[in-house]
Amino acid sequence: MRLKGQEIALEFQGEPIRLKRDENGVPQVTSVSEAGAYFGLGWVHANDRMVQMMLVRLIARGEASENLKGTDEFIAIDTFMRKINFRDDARAQVNALDADSRSVLEAYTTGVNEFLGHNRLPFEFKLIKYKPEPWKPEDSLITIKIMGYVGLAQAQGDMEKLIVQMIRNGTSLEKLNELFPGQLNGINMEALKKVTLESPKIPQSIKWLHPVPHMSASNNWAVAPSKSASGKAVYCSDPHLEVNRLPGVWYEIMMKFDGNAVIGTTIPGVPGILYGRTGRLAWGFTYSFMDMIDFYIEDCKDGAFRRGSEWVPFNVRKETIRPKGKAPVILSVYENLHGFLEGDPNRPGYYLTTAWSGRQNGGADALMNMIKLPRIKSTKEAMEAMRNVDIPPLDFIFADRDGNIGFQMCGRMPRRKKGWSGLYPVEGWMPENDWQGFVDPADLPRSYNPECGFLATANNDLNHLGRAKPINLPMAPYRYDRIMELLTSKEKLGVDDMKKMHYDLYSKQAELFMPIIRPLLPDSPAGELLKKWDFRYGEDSKAAFLFEKIYRELLGSVFGQIEWGEDVFNYMDRETGIFIDFYGNFDRVLLRESAVWFNGSPREQIYRKAIEKALSGAIKTYGETRQITMVNLFFGGKLPKFLGFDYGPFPLKGNRATIIQGAIYKNDGLSTTFHPSYRMIADFATDVLETNIAGGPSDRRFSKWYTSDVENWRHGSYKKLQIK
């Protein structure tokens, strides 16, 4: 029995559960109890997204090579995941849940398994002869943990490793301080020069992280009644994730239970409404860029690490990977009080251990507090609850029916020694460098009913709003600045204004660069296009295409030629997210009148050369360079186009610095994106949630709900989901 277009009646512990789809294909679950509603959520997740759920579980457990394919790629991803070891802590976190949350999780798990036990397996699993074992409560916790690490902690970690690589390549402290002002006090350059680095990526296997939601950026904002055209609070979100995939990351749901009605979006595998609204409260989040990952330099020999003047043996955890058709792989994971070692301590040398604050005792607080949201009735109560979410680190914004709006950061922030920003590795043999527990959530940034009448976050620096300063590497403020500019541009703002903001293409980054570039432009057709540019990244814009060429030439000429070499720079630019996430640090240097990174050359000379080189080629429209295809996450684009498993190609809107973020790059050969994956608007003058989503409810290619919302999402149309 599958949920297609008909209504289905189920039973959970003697309670009737009713399931049906609305006209948009969004499932509705109706029950008497909260547990019954989550039983229904588990059932529809398995009905519509079983492949996604099971692939994420296999990857997070480090069991991909055992169940999918015994290739070197899968063995590499399993090795990586076994080192991190999400599994053991996920099991422990189930026991850390309170009784109510445990009841909800068990009901959800029962719903997943009810579907698994009475329905045929997806044909994809039959192709690879994989029969999934029953869902377990810890599988939901392991899904939360991998979401908190992949894309989020990894991005920060990649930049911290880049700093080490730069030091090893001879980059001076003076240059590093220009890129990271005030963040490198106390850095031990000599020790870092001796560190042996493992590759920060998983060669040729990163593509099998494709099913895992990669959170990178987002926008959210709320408008108080004093600024709202309706006279009621308005809330908006658009989380930025990978969108060139099918099915999409998110799964929309409507649930009614125990007098509560909630609509919003979920992650298959997790019982909780991550973005949504009830009749009383609306909520959503962005990634906060809190630094939850640190590296320690370990002085190693003979299987031990130095601690003070003593040598202490590593704890050795044995992992056995059993790839299909191959001999078992025995993996030794070396761990100490800081984390797991990247290297072999039996070979004398300096290596790094990885410390992530969500690795142990992480996930239960997130699940417990997310489950509470549909029952919370006020912004203040929601802020008090959500500040206790441990992973991932998030910037929540709330709005309620009484007109209150609020911002609350959450995340488990390590308490570091005074003067250490956390942005560079420190000596592991010095006990004073150890974390001193975690920061009190009450000290994290927050804001409640600000006088201006609105709140917004866009991965920007929000340290000024808290006693703790969690962010050492924010994204550039361009998207936030544009949001605030538009929020202040009118006396009263309505839902149509919110929709225009979601699709706004104006770049504050270009606005900063063009006063330097414009006087240097030649009197040529290309030069004239740029002189008249309005800083908008329309698909037909040739000026936007030319600006992007100039910008890349500037990055390459300043950072790519001497310090890293052109090949390394090209790899960073095209194959990693370094210039996607942290371009603000590089812009800070490029916009200076003089900089150490200019190596004695005048800024004007650097810009003239970049302009000359960039404008010498053929002129294209911006959209021509932005073509993407939404690829089925299981088949990975290997099937003929006419079969319809993939959607596209089409141009991706926006740019790194526009509200509608449009980042495209490759990750070990796999094209990936960061873009609004879901848009929602809640005006408390109505009981409606207006949304569009990058995909549809179902992962079944021949379902009418496979790509049912893609055209709305691409072109700015919103469906209306009604709280009834």
* Residue range 19-77, pLDDT digits in tens: 999 999 999 999 999 999 999 999 999 999 999 999 999 999 999 999 998 988 889 88
Q: What is the H or E stretch that residue 57 is in?
A: helix 34-61
Per-chain mean pLDDT for the chain: 93
- Which tokens is 478 given? 């361009």
- Structure-model confidence comparison of residues 255 and 74, the more confident one: 255
Backbone angles phi, psi at 241, to 5 degrees: -135, -175
Tell me the average pLDDT across 495-514.
98
Tell me the average pLDDT across 650-673.
84
Is the pLDDT at 584 greater than 50, yes or no? yes
Residue 39, judged by CB atoms within 10 A of its CB (0-12, 13-18, 19+), counts as: buried
Tell me the average pLDDT across 533-541.
98
Which of 253-262, 482-491, 559-568 has the lowest average pLDDT?
Answer: 559-568
Q: What is the H or E stretch that residue 81 is in?
A: helix 72-84
- Structure-model confidence comparison of residues 625 and 199, the more confident one: 625
Tell me the average pLDDT across 407-426.
96
Is the pLDDT at 203 greater than 50, yes or no? no
Tell me the average pLDDT across 140-149.
91
* Confidence grade of residue 428 (pLDDT, cut at 50, 70, 90): very high
* Confidence grade of residue 507 (pLDDT, cut at 50, 70, 90): very high
Tell me the average pLDDT across 232-241.
97
Tell me the average pLDDT across 378-394.
96
% of residues, the chain, pLDDT over 90: 83
**Residues 475, 434: Cα–Cα separation, whole Å:** 27
Cβ contact 57:143 at 8 Å: yes
* Residue range 269-294, pLDDT digits in tens: 999 999 999 999 999 999 999 999 99
Tell me the average pLDDT across 584-598.
96
Q: Tell if the pTM clears 0.85, that is, is over it.
A: yes
CATH class of segment(s) 508-624: mainly alpha
* Residue range 82-132, pLDDT digits in tens: 999 999 999 999 999 999 999 999 999 999 999 999 888 999 999 999 999
Per-residue model confidence (pLDDT) at position 416: 97
Is the pLDDT at 431 greater than 70, yes or no? yes
Residues with Cβ within 8 Å of 25's Cβ and at least 6 positions away in sequence, in order, are 696, 697, 698, 704, 705, 708
Peptide bond into 392 cis (omega under 30): yes
Cβ contact 293:356 at 8 Å: yes
* Confidence grade of residue 205 (pLDDT, cut at 50, 70, 90): very low
The owner of tokens 């053991």 is: 88
Tell me the average pLDDT across 159-172.
87
Which of 76-85, 342-351, 496-505, 587-596 has the lowest average pLDDT?
Answer: 76-85
Selection from 463, 458, 445 nearest residue 383 by Cα: 445
Domain coordinates of the chain in residue numbers? 508-624
Is the pLDDT at 398 greater than 50, yes or no? yes
Cβ contact 698:25 at 8 Å: yes
Per-residue model confidence (pLDDT) at position 208: 44
* Confidence grade of residue 213 (pLDDT, cut at 50, 70, 90): low
Helix, strand, coil distribution of the chain in percent, nearest 5: 35, 25, 40
Cβ contact 410:444 at 8 Å: yes
Is the pLDDT at 135 greater than 90, yes or no? yes
Any alpha helices (H) in 558-622, and if so which ranges?
Answer: 566-575, 578-581, 583-590, 603-614
* Confidence grade of residue 207 (pLDDT, cut at 50, 70, 90): very low
Per-residue model confidence (pLDDT) at position 672: 79
Is the pLDDT at 667 greater than 70, yes or no? no
Is the pLDDT at 697 greater than 50, yes or no? yes
Per-residue model confidence (pLDDT) at position 215: 61
Per-residue model confidence (pLDDT) at position 211: 60
Q: What is the H or E stretch that residue 104 is in?
A: helix 99-118
Which of 277-291, 571-585, 653-667, 683-697 has the lowest average pLDDT?
Answer: 571-585
Is the pLDDT at 234 greater than 70, yes or no? yes
Is the pLDDT at 159 greater than 70, yes or no? yes
